Amino acid sequence: MLADRARRLLVGGMVGAHVLALPVLIGFAVADGARALVSGLFGLALVVFFHAVGQATQIRFAGSDPRTLMRASLLSYALRTALLGLAVVGWVNLPPESQARVNPMALSMVAAAAVVGWMVALVRTYSRLRIPVYDEPDAPARGVYDSASEITPAPGSRA
């Protein structure tokens, strides 16, 4: 049940990312050709990887103890951000002729559109999930109506 909810969030986020990012990607591809297309696809792939691994962690540990889920989520986040940091370090250390093959505006704008699309779709999907939240009463409260529509007298009081 919990894994199914997390799976629905993953699918919703994936669809949202693509719905918003693909028009931006097509616009850059028309304007700058293959260079922008490949750069934008790389930006989209980074966002999808980052979020999909996070959601996959939620799916895998959905039924676990809350502390285990928190540890797994934090470890996943630390590893994903470290990989993004390594990508930035790799980008900075590329020779200028290699950097010229990438359209940084296409990469960043498609990635930004994908992040916004993922987040909006995630919120929309989450708001449509049916999550039962209630506490079972331990005992009827004193002085409230019982099933016979009479006031239950408090213990020790005269009825």
Q: State the DSSP string of 41-110.
A: HHHHHHHHHHHHHHHHHHHHTTTS-HHHHHHHHHHHHHHHHHHHHHHHHHHHTS-HHHHTTS-HHHHHHH
pLDDT, one tens digit per residue, over 99-138 is 888 899 999 999 999 999 999 999 999 888 876 676 666 6
Within a domain: 88: yes
> What predicted TM-score, i.e. pTM, was given to this entire model?
0.74
pLDDT tens digits for range 3-50: 788 888 889 999 999 999 999 999 999 999 999 999 999 999 999 999
pLDDT over 60 (residue 148): no
Domain assignment of residue 32, yes or no: yes
Is 159 among the domain residues? no
Is residue 112 assigned to a domain? yes
d(CA 58, CA 1): 13
Residue 155 falls inside a structural domain = no
**3 state DSSP class of 127:** helix
Indicate whether 120 belongs to any domain.
Answer: yes
Task: Provide the domain count of the chain.
Answer: 1
Q: What is the pLDDT of residues 40-86, one digit of tens each?
A: 999 999 999 999 999 899 888 888 888 999 999 999 999 999 999 99
Q: State the average pLDDT for the chain.
A: 86
Residue 84 to residue 31: CA distance in whole angstroms: 27
Q: How far apart are CA 107 and CA 159, in angstroms?
A: 77
Residue 68's domain comprises 2-128
pLDDT per residue over 75-108, tens digit each? 999 999 999 999 889 988 989 888 888 899 999 9
Does a structural domain hold residue 92? yes
| Residue 148 counted as domain residue | no
